[in-house]
């Protein structure tokens, strides 16, 4: 019987072809999740994109984040939010951030 799957890489970091200019550390919205660029890129460049890990991200000031809260990435404001709407799932909060407080929240993506 022929192999139905051949392992290519671990999967925590993948090769990603940039469709536009991307900065190292930039959140990259994918279809139903996000990745984080580990390199700078111009359109057409192949870079490393993290699909797993914990990253510090700006939290929407109006939202309350508690450890375990599912968070979504708002591509328009470039911050994480607790609002689903048309936002893309980013992962879960692994730090707290009180509502009405400007700041960052650590997010486990993946």
75-94 CB burial, b ≥16 within 10 A, e <16:
eeeebbbbeeeebbebbbbb
> What's the pLDDT band for 3 if we cut at 50, 70, 90?
confident
E-assigned strands of 1-110?
13-17, 27-29, 34-37, 46-50, 53-59, 70-74, 79-81, 88-93, 103-109
Contact of 49 with 28, CB cutoff 8 Å: yes
Note whether 64 and 95 are same-domain residues.
yes
Number of domains the chain contains: 2
Q: What is the pLDDT of residue 9?
A: 85
Give the pLDDT of residue 82. 97
pTM for the complete prediction?
Answer: 0.91
Query: In the prediction, which pLDDT does 1 show?
Result: 73
Residue 18's domain comprises 13-50
Query: Is the residue at 7 inside a domain?
Result: no
Residues 6+ apart with CB under 8 A from 45: 17, 18, 39
Each residue of 8-56: pLDDT tens digit?
Answer: 888 999 999 999 999 999 999 999 999 999 999 999 999 999 999 999 9
Q: Give the per-residue pLDDT at 41.
A: 98
Answer yes or no: do 59 and 34 share one domain: no
Cα(86)–Cα(69) distance, integer angstroms: 18
Residues 46 and 69 in one domain: no
Domain-located, residue 4? no
pLDDT (0 to 100) of residue 8: 87
Q: Give residue 64's pLDDT.
A: 96
* Whether 97 and 65 share a structural domain: yes
73-100 tens-digit pLDDT: 999 999 999 999 999 999 999 999 999 9
60/6: higher pLDDT: 60
| Residues 90 and 60 both lie in one domain | yes
In 3D space, the residue among 97, 50, 28, 101 whose CA is nearest the CA of residue 69 turns out to be 97
CB 97 within 8 A of CB 62: no
């Amino acid at each position: 019987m022929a192999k139905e799957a051949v392992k290519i890489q671990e999967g925590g970091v993948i090769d990603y072809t940039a469709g536009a200019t991307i900065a190292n550390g930039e959140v990259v919205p994918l279809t139903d999740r996000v990745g984080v660029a580990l390199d700078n890129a111009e359109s057409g460049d192949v870079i490393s994109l993290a699909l797993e890990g914990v990253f510090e991200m700006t939290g929407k000031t109006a939202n309350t984040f508690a450890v375990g809260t599912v968070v979504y990435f708002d591509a328009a404001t470039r911050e994480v939010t607790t609002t689903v709407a048309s936002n893309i799932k980013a992962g879960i909060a692994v730090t707290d951030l009180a509502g009405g407080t400007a700041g960052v929240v650590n997010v486990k993506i993946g």
